[in-house]
Homo-oligomer: A and B are copies of this chain.
Amino acid sequence: MSATRRRRAVVLLSGGLDSATVLALARSEGLACYALSVAYGQRHRAELRAAARIARRLRALQHRVMKVDLAEIGGSALTSQRARLPTKLAPGIPPTYVPARNTVMLALALAWAEVLGAEEIHVGVNAIDYSGYPDCRPQFVAAFGALAVVATRAGIEGRAPRIVAPLIAMSKVDIILLGTRLGVDFGATVSCYAADSRGRACGRCDACRLRRKGFEDAGLADPTRYR
């Protein structure tokens, strides 16, 4: 390894607002970024096309899309074509929760990070303005970090990738302000769970509501394309 080798990071990139900001932040820190998206059977496939656009614009060195069909095992409104999506933020874990999704995604990121010799894995989870998913909380991130140490050859050699979740304690407003400062084109991101094939948002689902409120509270024009 040369002295000038840049630090490498695998960045989980969904195509939404949060992970785009994470990628922009990692790039601004000079990291060599390897963007990873996971086609897990989500109904909103438009987010994967958004991820490809964002990876290109933010100059990730590679953008990999891995497939694993969580829809076949069911258990989530987000991987069902039939289930109704909630249109209100209610207490508790909503039906859009996908069992073990972030565990699966981080596991795939860990595999790629180990092959790349990446020092870090970046993930845009957030436990403030979020849907209450268990695998978006700081204790989840910490537990996965501890797992990475014992699960891998890299860990045995004392260089397990660190799990970096820079947005974990940030409000949606702060994330939007940070992304704006970093030049993220939020109009290219897709957050909506029911986005149409052209990436236009419904304006009514959980994800749309959190996002819209974020732009309002930030005092910024909402660049989202609604249908």
Contacts and interface: CB of A to CB of B under 8 A. Distances in A.
A128 interface: no
A67 B70 contact: no
B143 A150 contact: yes
A86 interface: no
Interface in A74-99: 74-75, 93, 97-99
A115 interface: yes
Contacts of A220: none
Contact of A150 (B110, B137, B155): B137
Contacts of A147: 103, 140, 143-144, 146-147
A114 interface: yes
Contacts of A104: 104, 107-108, 111
Interface in A131-150: 134-135, 137, 139-140, 143-144, 146-147, 149-150
20 contacts: A64-B72, A64-B73, A66-B72, A75-B111, A75-B114, A99-B112, A100-B107, A100-B108, A100-B110, A100-B111, A100-B114, A100-B152, A103-B147, A104-B111, A134-B153, A134-B155, A134-B156, A137-B150, A143-B146, A147-B147
